[in-house]
Amino acid sequence: MRQVGVPFVNALEVTIVKVLYRFGLAASGAAVGMAVSAMVAGAQPPRQGPGPDTKRVVVTAFRGDVDGGVKLADEIRNRVSNDFNIRQLMPVSKKDINNTLVNSGYKPDSALAPNDIKELAKLVRGDEVIDGEVRRTAAGYKVNARLFLSRDVALSQPLVSIEGSNLGDIAKQIVHEYDQARKQIPATQECENNLRAQKVDLAVGAARKALGSYPKATIARLCIANAFQSWKNGPDSASKPWKDSVLAVTNQITTIDPASTMALRLQFGVYEAQKDEANQTKTLIKLMQADPTNTALVEQVIATLVNSGKAEDAVPIIDSLVKANPGDPQYMRTRWLVLRAAKRYKDAVAAGQAYAAADPTVADSSYYLRMIADYGSDSAYAKAAEMAAMAAQKYPKNAQLWALKAQNERKAGQIPAAIASLQHALSIDPKTPGLQMLLAQLYVDQNKPDSAVIAVKGDVAADASNKTRDAAFLVSLGGAAYKAAEGTKQPADYQKAVTLLQASDEIEPSANAKFFLGVSAFRLLAAAAPELQKKTATCDQAKAAGNYLTMINTNMPAGGSVSPETAKQILGAAGQYQAFIDSRTKQLCK
């Protein structure tokens, strides 16, 4: 437009005359005057261009409906061009956006994720972004739009969430709300400047001015929340209620904008300082829902859920990641580990197999150990043994794998195979902790107490510090054998108990071993006495009975503390056998 007081026509006349004269187009004064008059009549003021402080807003195609997203972006750019003074604000042209997209490997009119728009804005020198989604509905279109500052996607302000049939009308409402929302930006910049200068009170005061001009302001509130959060590291942090202050402001923000990632992160920091694990987890999940394409955040949520004992809640999250990234070994591994933590072992086995199929190099010893454990936890012991066999074939010098093979073979009822596996493991490393004890248990399972004793003594020989544990182990086996013998009343079963209890007492004497040894010997003596009365009795039977009597008299006094009354009765009864056994021994052992 013309400015008052500027002699625009006179200046133009002078310029034209000079040009005409310069090119030798002389004419009569009347002709020149007519030419000048004609040109002045058709002259228009030059179109005003952007100024040095003009802000540039980036509007790319909205995500969702492809055609609708492109048309809505066009409408918004046109509306901004028409509604705003170019000296203050202008849209980055569609041509510049599409040229940059193509040069960056995208198609023209691509609908980008917010973080990608941020990078695009850097390239086209954009200051602000209008972004959003558009979906087809029965009524026409459902649109969600927001403003964010190009330097940080998290500095975001919801604009509208509306439904309508005319994209032009929707664009009008978006741009109107955008105009209102921009009123907070100058005061927010003042807040940020004061905050950088560590003038917290001035920063908060500046941002509050923005709330007066735009009550729904979230970007200004974020500056206030960050100002309060800065108290945390200040010299008077103990006296400043930074936690309550941050929560109060961020709750206001999330009421306006539930998807504000910066507000949610600030809340998480407060809950972390308060050691409020429940709210930490809830806030992380909200963060993930607000920023679902942020894989680092999704992984953090998964780790937090698993570490807090809520692995089951992490399963659908990792399932969606695997679905969105098919064949990605890293996510397949995470899914496997999450299922293991959730104790869904059958699913974990399948996930582990899929993971190794996608990347065979991951099948190392730790992989096999986990898979063996998963099969075992699912009570699939034969499968666990097979997996251990595969692992042992790949790592033949790994005694632990052979031991795991034996453990699962035992649980699957494959006792001879388990013994063979343990013997192989011991041939690799005779001092591997626990192997001899497991072998002893296997021999007990096979009713071979003598072999079990040899194995236990081998464990003591490998590490003398194990003798207390090993002696107690044999006592427990001997006690169990005695209890079984009480059910069968068979001398052979009592003899099994004696063998185990004697070995325990040899390794490390104990009252328990001596007591059950004395009781077992008395049962054997009571069973042997009637046989000695027969004409068919032998010297060996007499000597055995004498040994039982000696065993009672030697062990029961020291083991009597376990049950004094029982010990007294047995010692009294055993004494009555003495003369008879001595007599029969003289008769039979000449």
- Which pLDDT tens digit goes with each residue over 473-516? 999 999 999 999 999 999 999 999 999 999 999 999 999 999 99
- pLDDT tens, residue by residue, 154-186: 999 999 999 999 999 999 999 999 999 999 999
User: Once rounded to an integer, what is the mean pLDDT over residues 131-158?
Assistant: 95
What are the tokens at 232? Answer: 């945390």
Residue with tokens 């970007």: 219
**pLDDT grade, residue 221 (50/70/90)?**
very high
Work out the mean pLDDT of the chain and round it to a whole number.
Answer: 88
| Contact predicate 577/525, CB 8 Å | yes
CA distance 87 to 90: 8
**CA neighbours closer than 13 Å in the CB half-sphere of residue 37:** 6
CA distance 183 to 176: 12
Does an H or E element contain 196, and which? helix 184-196
CA distance 376 to 382: 9
88-91: long-range contacts, CB 8 A cutoff, minimum separation 24: 88/53, 88/54, 88/55, 89/54, 89/55, 89/56, 89/57, 89/182, 90/50, 90/54, 90/55, 90/56, 90/57, 91/56, 91/57, 91/58, 91/59
* C-alpha closest to that of 403 among 428, 371, 375, 378: 428
CA distance 92 to 85: 14
CA distance 391 to 106: 47
Vertex 76: Cα angle to 70 and 81 (nearest 5): 130
Residue 354: C-alpha distances to residues 338, 360, 384, 400 (Å): 14, 10, 17, 25
Residues in the chain: 590
pLDDT for res 7? 33
* pLDDT of residue 432 exceeding 90: no
With 0-12 / 13-18 / 19 or more C-beta atoms within 10 angstroms meaning exposed / middle / buried, residue 50 is middle
The domain at 294-362 falls in which architecture? Alpha Horseshoe (1.25)
pLDDT for res 161? 96
Helix 578-588 with 539-559: angle, nearest 10 deg: 150
* pLDDT of residue 223 exceeding 70: yes
pLDDT for res 508? 94
- pLDDT tens, residue by residue, 575-586: 999 999 999 999
- pLDDT tens, residue by residue, 8-29: 333 333 332 333 233 332 333 3
Q: Where are the alpha helices (DSSP H) in 359-445?
A: 365-377, 381-394, 399-411, 415-428, 435-445
Phi, psi for residue 577 in degrees, rounded to 5: -85, -15
What are the tokens at 187? Answer: 């005061």
User: Once rounded to an integer, what is the mean pLDDT over residues 252-273?
Assistant: 95
User: Once rounded to an integer, what is the mean pLDDT over residues 357-371?
Assistant: 93
- Kindly report whether the global pTM for this prediction surpasses the value 0.75: no
What are the tokens at 114? Answer: 């917010």
| Contact predicate 478/504, CB 8 Å | yes
What are the tokens at 343? Answer: 């104790």
pLDDT for res 90? 96
User: Once rounded to an integer, what is the mean pLDDT over residues 189-212?
Assistant: 94
- pLDDT tens, residue by residue, 523-567: 999 999 999 999 999 999 999 999 999 999 999 999 989 999 999
- Cβ neighbors of 263 (< 8 A, separation 6 or more) are 218, 221, 222, 225, 250, 253, 254, 257
Q: What is the DSSP letter of 104?
A: T
What letter represents residue 109's amino acid?
D
CA distance 467 to 463: 8
- Percent with pLDDT over 90 in the chain: 76
pLDDT for res 20? 28
What are the tokens at 511? Answer: 């009252």
Residue with tokens 């169990």: 480
The CATH superfamily of 55-182 is TolB, N-terminal domain (3.40.50.10070)
pLDDT for res 237? 66
CA distance 298 to 493: 61
DSSP string, 524-570: HHHHHHHHHTSTT--HHHHHHHHHHHHHHHHHHHHHGGG-HHHHHHH
Residue 384: C-alpha distances to residues 390, 395, 399 (Å): 10, 16, 16
* pLDDT of residue 228 exceeding 50: yes
CA distance 433 to 436: 8
What letter represents residue 437's amino acid?
M
- Using left for φ > 0, alpha for ψ between -120 and 50, and beta otherwise, residue 433 falls in beta
**pLDDT grade, residue 31 (50/70/90)?**
very low
**CATH class held by domain 188-293:** mainly alpha
* pLDDT of residue 465 exceeding 70: yes
**pLDDT grade, residue 444 (50/70/90)?**
confident
pLDDT for res 22? 32
pLDDT for res 46? 56
* pLDDT of residue 199 exceeding 60: yes
* pLDDT of residue 112 exceeding 50: yes
* pLDDT of residue 44 exceeding 70: no
Residue 392: C-alpha distances to residues 345, 388, 404, 424 (Å): 22, 6, 10, 11
